[in-house]
């Protein structure tokens, strides 16, 4: 039985796009399901646009998500000699030829073709044919090398996702396989690599559908076995537009920075355009077990939904234990240079982890416990009367001398409420705003107990001072 071999072949020309990771995930999971081999190949022959930092981001992103590769990373720029071995073979076997047409000449044929309502294409003036006399070679012009695409017939493949696809050779140009600068082009390198790397299943975005017949023709000229091809529909945004490579929110590292967990991202992307019954939440291991056939992938574009990703992230955050979460957010809170009490922070995590969608939200909450947020005075004023202000002053007094513990805080708060004839929400709301800048929190005695006493006193005093400075609108 042949071993399944799949690959992810990104071009390192920008960020690591979320659509690209989805492609990588399906390719990876397919190999994992069949105990096959998954390869990482960096397609860096576009030298002007490829960068080392983009390559590093791909490697880091794959590692972060746990999409481990068994072979690679292979770099196309390191395989140029191999490509030329094949190019020389194609040249000497009449499958490829030098073309000396200048860019201006090609543009002018195209203009003419357009004016006749024809599809613009290369006029094949340099294509050698028996009995044809070729133009004389212009001096000092660097040629490109073109593949001699068959002139007739069709290319048909059974796409793993989209089913049977047929494209006529009449639609295809004589593809440039080596540019004038001597660098082989994507379609050529990808075809040779898929062959050399013994790829059995090419799973990639459907923006490559037009490249597939070109690559098949090259492989056919070499007389080698073709891989299966599967083209994944693109990911679109809520406006049904392809999510662009340039928008920040399509960069996988943006989600890492924002505090999304790899499990949530992989679960979300696996479910995007694929399903297994009604299952919404599943581990990546489970997904690999289920994912045995690309035909169950949707044929239509998949709509990216941030709310659903957040929902899944919330689910996985809740399921993590508090210490693991602390380890993950420690680097973020350390950057703020705050001195925190680990035991208390663990309690804060346990109390808030089911209320946040991201690790950043969770660390923001922890930071607020130690470093004062800007007081939301306009909001606070809505919950303040003179009596409540007096009750807050009483809090400062009473809180100074009690044992700092939830139960005692509860009793103390109740005494203050009784003294000023207030109910709990009347005092709890302003305290929530003063302490956490929020209207909704778990019970206020619990929140208070997780704070450092002096921080509570300072924040209440500061709020009273601010209210006194702006007390014109207060009413009894
Ligand atoms: N390098 C191509 C890209 O980043 C992918 C090519 C392929 O998968 O064949 O779009």
Is 132 part of any known ligand binding site? no
Q: How many domains does the chain have?
A: 4
Q: What is Dmax (Cα atoms) for the chain?
A: 110
Looking at the domain assignment, is residue 311 inside a domain?
Answer: yes
Ligand 1 atom nearest the C-alpha of 215 is 9
Same domain, 53 and 168: no
Same domain, 242 and 93: no
232 Cβ closer than 6 Å to some ligand 1 atom: no
Backbone angles phi, psi at 185, to 5 degrees: -95, 165
Looking at the domain assignment, is residue 324 inside a domain?
Answer: no
11 Cβ closer than 6 Å to some ligand 1 atom: yes
The position carrying tokens 């459907």 is 206
Pocket test for ligand 1, best of 5, 6, 7, 9 (most atoms within 8 A of CB): 9
Same domain, 154 and 50: no
23 Cβ closer than 6 Å to some ligand 1 atom: no
Domain containing residue 158: CATH number: 3.90.800.10
Which whole-number Å values give the CA distances from 291 to 24, 32, 68, 296, in the listed order?
14, 9, 17, 9
E-strand ranges in 14-128 read: 37-42, 71-75, 96-99
Looking at the domain assignment, is residue 233 inside a domain?
Answer: yes
Same domain, 300 and 346: no
Q: What is the pLDDT along the chain (476 residues), one digit of tens a residue?
A: 789 999 999 999 988 999 999 999 999 999 999 999 999 999 999 989 999 999 999 999 999 999 999 999 999 999 999 999 999 999 999 999 999 999 999 999 888 888 988 888 898 999 999 999 999 999 999 999 999 999 999 999 999 999 999 999 999 999 999 999 999 999 999 999 999 999 999 999 999 999 999 999 999 999 999 999 999 998 887 776 777 644 547 889 999 999 999 999 999 999 999 999 999 999 999 999 999 999 889 999 988 999 999 999 999 999 999 999 999 999 888 888 888 889 999 999 999 999 999 999 999 999 999 988 889 999 999 999 999 999 999 999 999 999 999 999 999 999 999 999 999 999 999 999 999 998 999 999 999 999 999 999 999 999 999 998 876 554 44
Same domain, 210 and 274: yes
Domain containing residue 413: CATH number: 1.10.10.350
Looking at the domain assignment, is residue 420 inside a domain?
Answer: yes
204 Cβ closer than 6 Å to some ligand 1 atom: yes
User: Residue 208 Cα, ligand 1 centroid: separation in angstroms?
Assistant: 7
Looking at the domain assignment, is residue 429 inside a domain?
Answer: yes
Same domain, 469 and 402: yes
The residue whose C-alpha atom lies closest to atom 3 belonging to ligand 1 is: 10
* Of the residues 319, 354, 389, the one at which a domain ends: 319
Interior/surface letters 377-400, b for 16+ CB within 10 angstroms, e for the rest: eeebbebbeeebbebbebbeeebe
| Range(s) of the domain holding residue 358 | 329-370
Same domain, 174 and 198: no
Domain containing residue 21: CATH number: 3.40.50.620
Same domain, 57 and 85: no
Same domain, 216 and 251: yes
* Of the residues 157, 178, 199, the one at which a domain ends: 178
Same domain, 129 and 23: no
44 Cβ closer than 6 Å to some ligand 1 atom: no
Same domain, 315 and 209: yes
Same domain, 195 and 302: yes
* Of the residues 132, 147, 178, the one at which a domain ends: 178
**379 within 8 A of 373, measured Cβ to Cβ:** no
User: Residue 186 Cα, ligand 1 centroid: separation in angstroms?
Assistant: 8
Tell me, what DSSP letter sits at residue 200? Answer: S
231 Cβ closer than 6 Å to some ligand 1 atom: no
190 Cβ closer than 6 Å to some ligand 1 atom: yes
């Amino acid at each position: 039985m042949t071993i399944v071999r799949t690959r992810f072949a990104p071009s390192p020309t920008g960020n690591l796009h979320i659509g690209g990771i989805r492609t990588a995930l399906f390719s990876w999971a397919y190999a994992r399901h069949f105990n096959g081999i998954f390869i990482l190949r960096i397609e860096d022959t576009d030298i002007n646009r490829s960068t080392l930092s983009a390559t590093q981001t791909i490697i880091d992103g794959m590692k972060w998500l746990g999409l481990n590769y068994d072979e690679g990373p292979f770099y196309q720029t390191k395989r140029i000699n191999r490509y030329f071995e094949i190019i020389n073979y194609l040249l000497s076997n009449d499958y490829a030829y030098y073309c000396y047409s200048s860019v201006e000449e090609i543009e002018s044929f195209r203009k003419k073709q357009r004016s006749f309502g024809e599809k613009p294409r290369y006029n094949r003036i340099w294509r050698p044919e028996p009995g044809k006399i070729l133009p004389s070679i212009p001096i000092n012009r660097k040629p490109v090398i073109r593949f001699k695409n068959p002139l007739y017939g069709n290319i048909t493949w059974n796409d793993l996702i989209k089913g049977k696809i047929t494209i006529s050779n009449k639609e295809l140009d004589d593809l440039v396989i080596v540019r004038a600068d001597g660098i082989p082009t994507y379609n050529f390198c990808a075809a040779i690599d898929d062959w050399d790397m013994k790829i059995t299943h090419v799973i990639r975005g459907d923006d490559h559908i037009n490249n597939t017949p070109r690559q098949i023709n090259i492989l056919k000229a070499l007389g080698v076995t073709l891989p299966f091809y599967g083209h994944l529909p693109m990911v679109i945004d809520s406006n049904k537009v392809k999510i662009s490579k340039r928008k920040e929110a399509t960069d996988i590292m943006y989600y890492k920075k924002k505090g999304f967990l790899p499990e949530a991202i992989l679960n979300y992307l696996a479910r995007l355009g694929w399903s297994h019954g009604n299952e919404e939440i599943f581990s990546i291991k489970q997904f690999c077990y289920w994912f045995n056939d690309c035909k169950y992938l949707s044929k239509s574009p998949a709509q990216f939904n941030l709310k659903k990703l957040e929902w899944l992230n919330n689910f996985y955050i809740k399921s993590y234990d508090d210490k693991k979460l602390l380890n993950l957010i420690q680097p973020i809170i350390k950057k703020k240079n705050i001195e925190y009490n680990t035991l208390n922070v663990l309690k804060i995590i346990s109390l808030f982890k089911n209320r946040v969608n991201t690790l950043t939200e969770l660390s923001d909450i922890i930071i607020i416990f130690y470093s004062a947020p800007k007081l939301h005075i306009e909001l606070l004023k809505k919950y303040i009367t003179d009596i409540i202000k007096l009750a807050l002053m009483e809090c400062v007094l009473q809180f100074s001398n009690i044992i700092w513990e939830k139960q005692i805080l509860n009793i103390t708060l109740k005494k203050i409420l009784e003294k000023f004839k207030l109910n709990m929400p009347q005092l709890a709301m302003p305290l929530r705003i003063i302490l956490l800048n929020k209207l909704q929190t778990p019970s206020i005695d619990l929140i208070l107990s997780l704070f450092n006493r002096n921080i509570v006193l300072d924040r209440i005093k500061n709020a009273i001072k601010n209210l006194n400075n702006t007390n014109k609108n207060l009413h009894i």
